[in-house]
Structure 1
Amino acid sequence: MHYQDSIDAAARALETARQMIADEIRDYPTPVSGCDAQYNHLLARRAQITKALTTLNSDVFVPTPRTLTEGSGVESR
């Protein structure tokens, strides 16, 4: 198994979790007050999952001796 398979499985699991939370939020009984702890918890979990998916799908800069800062180009010698 390749590491990418695990990353893809994690992304699918997060997408499934995001959809389940979206369904719970959609079906949540109204009216919702600003102090409804359970509803606020769902919103917080949705934000966490969205952040995890964004992080999982974004490119990450890894500094090297030739490129110390992002966007600095490659040092020629």
Structure 2
Amino acid sequence: MTHDDCLTVARAELQLARQLIQDEIRAYPTPISGCDAQFNHLIGLRGSVAEALRALEAPRFVATPRTPAPGAGIESR
């Protein structure tokens, strides 16, 4: 298995988790009070999963001596 395979599995699992959490939120009994710890936990989990998916998709800047900061341009030699 390659790292690309692992990332594909990670994305699929996170997407599944997002859907399961969303389904649980949708089926949550109403009315929901603002201090409902279980519901608030689900909302927090939903945000964490969304952040993890965004992190997997976001390009990462890796500083090098030729490009020490984002937007510094690419020096050619």
TM-score category (smaller protein): over 0.9
Q: Which structure 1 residue ranges, 4+ long, deviate > 3 Å from structure 2?
A: none
Matched AA of 1:12: A
CA displacement at 1:33 relative to structure 2:
0.7
What TM-score comes out, normalization by structure 1 length? Answer: 0.96
Identical residues among aligned pairs (%): 52
State the 1:75 CA deviation.
2.6
Looking at structure 1, the residues matched to 14 and 50 of structure 2 have their Cα atoms a distance apart, in angstroms, of: 8
After superposition, where does 1:39-58 map in structure 2 within 5 Å? 39-58=39-58
Runs of 5+ in structure 1 lacking a partner? none
**Which residue matches 1:8?**
8
Task: Give the deviation of 1:76 after TM superposition.
Answer: 4.1
Gaps in structure 2 of 5+ consecutive residues: none
Q: Which amino acid aligns with 2:9?
A: A
Q: CA RMSD in A?
A: 0.9
